[in-house]
Structure 1
Amino acid sequence: MVVDRKTLQYFLAAALLFGGTFVAAKAGLSYFPPLLFVALRFDIAAIILVGYVVATRSRRELMPTTRGDLVGIIATGVFAIGAANALLFVGQQYTTTAVGAIIASLNPVLTPVFAAVLLADERVSPRVVAGLLLGLVGVGLVVGFDPTGVESIGYGKLIIFAGAALGALGTVLIRWGEGSLSSTVRTAWGLPFAAALTHGFSWATGEQVADITVVPVALLILVYLGVFAGAIAYIAYFGLIDEVGAVRANLVFYVTPIVATLGGWALLSESISASALLGFVVIFAGFAVLGSDSIDIGDVLPSFDKSDAGESHAWGLNDEARGFESD
């Protein structure tokens, strides 16, 4: 396998920073109300990412010019980033970092369901069905599904699952809009919408700034989520897409639950059940089956070649990032 240094740096940065999101979110919920927490994270990330694209893109590249661009911006800000992360932070109060990360990483498994409904050129092949079924079985193992009732699963896990579903819907709506903006610029436009949405949710649920416990560790967590797991992680992830294409870049999301699991164990003294570990393996198998529907796995592993960056990918999403927004 030949992997150049830049590609490896992008991959490691995105995997570690996105994986650390779940650990930081769990730890930070001791100091912040959940919705205000994610809103402040978006405030910081928006300032940095907007500054980055203004400094590195031309005016023509920055400006939305079509209806599809506007659809993409709204889908990114409202669904793929805003609502998905709001539900993640709310649900993370009631489960461990490892389980939260595994459920949230289901975005690529859920995406073809929405794509088959909303995109006219999509089909659900037998291989996609098999991947979806494997993913659902894995989720059942992770959440400890018991047919006797919803209470056996836990509302926190259901909330995170709903966030993953909205994230998947958002990515398909982006593709449906067929905008011309790059994913980096579109995310920079979408982040202020996500911040406004989550501030609105926070206000509507009665959260107040006075509810924040202002201590150094809380500020460090917020800076990590806004600067490192927010703006810098997005920049690294989009850079990875430019280097290797979206399918290979999405291997990141096979790694983030592992990072979250190890981080929760090392920093928060969390444990994970054997059934949850087995569930992660089954979900991973579902990812592999879904990915192999559009690419030969032998073509993915041997080399990371820049010539792949413009290829057309699975489920009609082309080079759109599938899943990154919910991290």
Structure 2
Amino acid sequence: MMDRRALLFFAASSLLFGGTFVAAKAGLEYFPPLAFVALRFDIAAVVLLGYVAVTRSRGELVPRTRGDVAGILATGVLAIGLTNALLFVGQQYATSAVAAIVFSLNPILTPVFAAVLLSDERLSARGVVGMLLGLGGVILVVGPSPALLLGGDAFGKAILLAAAVSGALGAVSIRRANSSISSTVRTAWGLPFAALLTHSLSTASGESLSAIVWTPEAVLALGYVALFAGVLAYVAYFGLIDSAGAIHANLVFYVVPVVSTIGGWALLGETISTLAIVGFLTIFAGFAVLGSESIDLHRIYPAARNRHGPPIDQFVTLDEARGGSGD
């Protein structure tokens, strides 16, 4: 069950990530894609490392266990570095709408990796229904034609799918690492690894920083993806993974297209179609189905105990009846 802190993280990461696709698409007019990502992480790393250096004690900053190191690498290399490198490159070959839909496969892929790598996160049949409703809602909100979604550049869509795979695997790997350091400190350590990876990929692909066209729009796009969709969004998102688990944390990527659509309507005068409104309601229905799993029967047990027979704890599950653990 999500507590208030987790809900705050969910709302913050959804809102801040919501502008990423638009800002990335705008920034790619002025930056080579991998150089854009690398500079984003340079700025974010400096800001967040400076913040934790001032606000955390030395003992809180130093990784001490293998889990700490594994969590930092999963954060920097998979969840941040490789995911964003693939996402920004893939957006060169696809519209923002198609990119949003393909990357929204992330929440679908997360339970697959969790089933293999985690023992405490599983998705029930009801959860599957909620996930599929959410994905359907994203498609309705973004609203590209089937020809646009299925046709076009298959290479670009493959890169975007690889970004979704990397993001899902990274989130589950962070959870599996069971790091003892805080998510903010872990993110601060992970960002330099993300910057190093993306600078290496940029150099290997032949990109040059001299190709950057510095305009006010370019600075604005870089500032947004570095500070708002970078530092602040990552602190919220990785805190959410620790609080609510990888499966529920990655549901933010169902809300991102909704935020982008509403933001375009409020700030840019874009219209919202009836189909998009149906999509909003479908995503809400998916969340309602997923949220219904979070009802804790033990909290209502005292009120229901006398009306519904034996205490809940006296019943056994089918697994327990067969000698299983019931997990």
**Contact between 2:138 and 2:254, CA under 8 Å: does it hold in 1?**
no
Higher mean C-alpha deviation, range 81-90 or range 229-238 = 229-238
Higher mean displacement: 251-260 or 188-197: 251-260
Q: 2:89, 2:109 → 1: CA distance? A: 20
> Are residues 30 and 279 of structure 1, via their aligned partners in 2, closer, same or farther at CA, if it must alter by over 3 Å?
same
2:197 is matched with: 197
Instruction: Specify the structure having the higher radius of gyration (Cα).
Output: 2
**Matching residue within 243, 246, 252 for 2:244:** 246
Answer whether contact 1:110 1:168 (CA < 8 A) is retained: yes
CA distance in 2, matches of 1:124, 1:251: 13
- Partner of 1:258 in structure 2? 258
Shift of 1:80: 0.6
Q: Given the superposition, is the C-alpha separation of residues 189 and 181 from structure 1 closer, same or farther in structure 2, using an over 3 Å criterion?
A: same
1:111 maps to amino acid: T
Counterpart secondary structure, 2:19: helix
When normalised by structure 2's length, the TM-score is 0.73
Aligned to 2:128: 129
Aligned to 1:184: 184
Matched residue type, 1:256: V
Question: Which residue in 1 is equivalent to 2:33?
Answer: 34
Aligned counterpart, 1:90? 89
With 25-34 and 282-291 compared, the bigger mean Cα shift is at 282-291
Does the CA contact (< 8 Å) of 1:109 and 1:286 recur in 2? no
Deviations 1:209-266 (CA, angstroms, capped at 9, x unpaired): 1221122221222122112221133345567889xx5379777555432222244567
| Paired residue secondary structure (2:91) | helix
Alpha carbons 1:83, 1:163 under 8 Å: kept: yes
What are the within-5 Å matches in structure 2 for residues 314-325 of structure 1? none
Q: Is 1:207 the equivalent of 2:203? A: no
Contact map agreement 2:98 2:144 (CA 8 A) in 1? no
Distance in 2, matches of 1:162 and 1:296, equals 35
Q: How does 1:166-181 map to 2 (within 5 A)?
A: 166-181=166-181
- What's the CA shift for 1:146? 6.2
Decide which moves more: 89-98 or 178-187: 89-98
The Cα offsets for residues 121-169 of structure 1, whole Å up to 9 and x where unpaired, read as 444432233344445656776686969x964575434432321221111
Q: Is the 8 A contact 1:143 1:157 kept in 2?
A: no
Letter in 2 for 1:206: G
Shift of 1:75: 0.9
Q: Residue 190 of structure 1: CA displacement? A: 0.8
**Is contact 1:80-1:167 (8 Å) kept?**
yes
Question: 1:283: how far off?
Answer: 5.4
**How do residues 129-168 of structure 1 correspond to structure 2 at under 5 angstroms?**
129-134=128-133, 151=151, 154-168=154-168
Per the alignment, residue 304 of structure 1 pairs with: none
Contact 1:145 1:153 in 2 (8 A): no
Q: For structure 1, which segment, 232-241 or 264-273, has the greater mean C-alpha deviation from structure 2 after superposition?
A: 264-273
Using the alignment, how far apart are the partners of 1:297 and 1:104 within structure 2?
32
Q: Give how far 1:95 is off.
A: 3.4
**Gap change, CA 1:107 and 1:159, over 3 Å in 2:** same
Residue 47 of structure 2 corresponds to 48
Measure the CA separation in 1 of the matches of 2:253 and 2:139: 19
The 8 Å contact of residues 98 and 260 in structure 1, kept in 2 or not, is answered as: no
Q: Which stretch of the first structure deviates more once superposed, 183-192 or 224-233? A: 224-233
Query: Shift of residue 103 of structure 1?
Result: 3.8
What percent of counterpart residues are identical? 64
